[in-house]
Amino acid sequence: MEVAVNSNEFLPGSQGEASLTEDNREQVARPTIRVKEVPERDRRRLLMHFLELNDSDRLLRFGTVLPDELITRYVQHLDFSRDTVLGVYDAKLRLVGVGHLAFAPREARPVIASATIKERIAEFGVSVSESARGAGIGTKLFERGAMHCRNADVDTLYMHCLASNQTMMHIAKKAGMAIHRDHGEADAYLKLEPASPSSVLKEAVQEQVASLDYTLKANTRAALKLLGSIPGFKS
């Protein structure tokens, strides 16, 4: 497994291509993206991620230009026992992508209540740091979110966004979501297959690998910090 120590690892085209052979160039053109569940103890990292979003990104993500104070409140009130927060960490363990799966009773969304007989539906919101966009992180977070829903006995994944959000519309269409546009806003939803042994195993393996990757990054950072504290050592 590769461990990225470069904080620009998610910049499109940032891979060290000089050392690649023609045969494997295609396969490794993009760094591998590991999606991991974000634990409650990472609220501060979540806050840092959201505060870095500029006004237009905040508008796209939250439907309104949330000021810092309300973003802080949003993060403080994230309910980790009910919802699932998915993240992509860079080499410095900063969150460069965050997907929030909010679970709610189906009656909470009358628009799609008739689309399912399951008790709960899930609403997905996603954001990727500006410097990490275009590398597939948003798509990976979405795919993992859909898999998590499936495995949690939820068959309807819902997204509400501005109809002008071309990138998100592209990701939604690519995933086969049904999109309903109304007054400049768009409701998109996806019917999911029931869980299967392979979907459960796949999610568990992805989580394990992402956790291992996270641990390796944390250890690398700790080792570099330690070495940096040795007089005369230059990193």
Ligand X SMILES: CC(C)(COP(=O)(O)OP(=O)(O)OC[C@H]1O[C@@H](n2cnc3c(N)ncnc32)[C@H](O)[C@@H]1OP(=O)(O)O)[C@@H](O)C(=O)NCCC(=O)NCCS
- Tell me how far, at minimum, the Cβ of 58 lies from ligand X, in Å: 8
Determine if 67 is a binding residue for ligand X (CB under 6 A). no
Pattern of binders to ligand X over 146-185, x per CB under 6 A?
A: -------------x-x---xxxx-xx--x-----------
- Tell me how far, at minimum, the Cβ of 137 lies from ligand X, in Å: 4
Contacts by residues 100-105 (CB-CB < 8 Å, ≥ 24 positions apart)? 100/124, 100/125, 100/126, 101/145, 101/148, 101/149, 103/152, 103/154
Q: Taking CB positions, which residue lies at the least distance from ligand X?
A: 138
Kindly write down the DSSP assignment for every residue of 152-205, as one continuous string. TT--EEEEEEETT-HHHHHHHHHTT-EEEEETTEEEEEEE-PPP-HHHHHHHHH
- Tell me how far, at minimum, the Cβ of 150 lies from ligand X, in Å: 20
Cβ proximity to ligand X: between 167 and 219 the closer is 167
Task: Name the percent of the chain in helix, strand, coil, to the closest 5.
Answer: 45, 20, 35
Contact 52/81 with Cβ under 8 angstroms?
A: no
Cβ proximity to ligand X: between 8 and 219 the closer is 8
User: Where do runs of H (alpha helix) occur along 26-177?
Assistant: 43-51, 55-62, 68-76, 110-113, 137-151, 166-174
The angle formed by the CA atoms of residues 117, 178 and 163, to the nearest 5 degrees, is: 125
Name the pairing type of β-strands 156-162 and 178-182.
unpaired
Cβ proximity to ligand X: between 95 and 192 the closer is 95
Cβ proximity to ligand X: between 104 and 195 the closer is 104
Pattern of binders to ligand X over 111-140, x per CB under 6 A?
A: --------------xxxx----xxxxxxx-
Contact 177/189 with Cβ under 8 angstroms?
A: yes
Determine if 57 is a binding residue for ligand X (CB under 6 A). yes
Only one of the segments 57-65, 149-157, 184-192, 194-202 lies at the binding site for ligand X (rule: CB under 6 A); that segment is 57-65
Cβ proximity to ligand X: between 165 and 220 the closer is 165
Determine if 49 is a binding residue for ligand X (CB under 6 A). no
Cβ proximity to ligand X: between 108 and 195 the closer is 108
Q: Which residues are at the interface with ligand X (CB under 6 A)?
A: 57, 60-61, 125-128, 133-139, 159, 161, 165-168, 170-171, 174
